[in-house]
């Protein structure tokens, strides 16, 4: 009984860790949902093993009842998948439900080290891999920076100053009004440090001010 209780407690802890990450991101399947799925899978696996045991003799296949967990979770996961505007949403949530159920089966079967390692890997995929995926899918945004100066500057001087990481200069134009000069730099970037950009702009000789714009 003690081992059974420890299995159920472990299922709540590991399922809760995964649910915490999902809930923090505002996903529909949060902590409570994943704790219940992991707990339920562990419970069914424990019951399936105990039902087919008589002393030390196995009278049936303990995996038969546990295997139906995956089928049931498949229907539950299908309800989280939505299709709108030509895209499919909820696949990661459905996959998380499925793998959490598998985690519960692993705990119920007594594979504690495997379960702990799998939880760490699942969290790694949901956090670190999410950032990598966002980086790959991010679209470049068009920005415009206009510099006002009373001192004529060479285009090469301006371009050398604006070698910003992750920024690609599209156009550099110059306009003169009386004794004032205006340079407009248009560039595209997924993300960059605005403070670095402003610091470089003000470091140019004769620059009295600048205007920064972002276009959707």
d(CA 167, CA 165) in angstroms, rounded, equals: 6
pLDDT value at residue 49: 79
Residues 118 and 43 in one domain: yes
pLDDT value at residue 174: 79
Indicate the number of domains in the chain: 2
List the structure tokens of 208.
């009295």
Residues 152 and 119 in one domain: no
Residues 155 and 105 in one domain: no
Residues 111 and 163 in one domain: no
pLDDT value at residue 86: 45
- C-alpha distance from residue 210 to each of 34, 144, 166, 172, 215 (Å): 51, 10, 21, 14, 17
**Within the chain, what is the greatest distance between any pair of CA atoms?**
99
pLDDT value at residue 144: 79
pTM over 0.85: no
Residues 107 and 186 in one domain: no
Residues 161 and 91 in one domain: no
d(CA 64, CA 105) in angstroms, rounded, equals: 12
pLDDT value at residue 104: 93
Q: Which domain holds residue 16?
A: 2-137
Residues 112 and 155 in one domain: no
Closest CA to 102 of 214, 203, 18: 18
Q: What is the mean pLDDT of each run of 10 residues along the chain (216 residues)?
A: 90 93 81 92 86 58 71 71 54 87 92 94 88 67 79 71 66 79 78 70 75 75
List the structure tokens of 213.
């714009």
């Amino acid at each position: 009984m003690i081992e059974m209780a420890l299995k159920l407690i472990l299922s709540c802890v590991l399922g809760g860790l995964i649910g915490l990450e999902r809930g923090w991101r505002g996903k529909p399947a949060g902590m409570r949902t994943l704790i219940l799925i992991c707990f339920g899978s562990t419970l069914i696996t424990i019951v399936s093993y105990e039902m087919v045991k008589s002393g030390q003799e196995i009278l049936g296949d303990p995996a038969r009842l546990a295997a139906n967990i995956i089928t049931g979770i498949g229907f539950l996961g299908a309800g989280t998948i939505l299709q709108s505007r030509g895209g499919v949403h909820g696949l990661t949530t459905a996959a998380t439900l499925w793998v959490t159920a598998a985690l519960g089966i692993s705990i119920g079967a007594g594979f504690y080290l495997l379960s702990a390692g799998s939880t760490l890997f699942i969290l790694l995929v949901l956090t670190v891999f999410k950032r990598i995926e966002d980086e790959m899918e991010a679209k470049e945004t068009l920005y415009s920076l206009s510099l006002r100066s009373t001192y004529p500057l060479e285009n090469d001087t301006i371009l050398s100053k604006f070698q910003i990481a992750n920024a690609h200069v599209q156009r550099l134009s110059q306009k003169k009004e009386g004794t004032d000069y205006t340079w407009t730099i248009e560039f595209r970037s997924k993300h960059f440090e605005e403070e670095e950009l402003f610091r470089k702009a003000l470091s140019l000789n004769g620059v009295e001010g600048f205007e920064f714009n972002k276009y959707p």
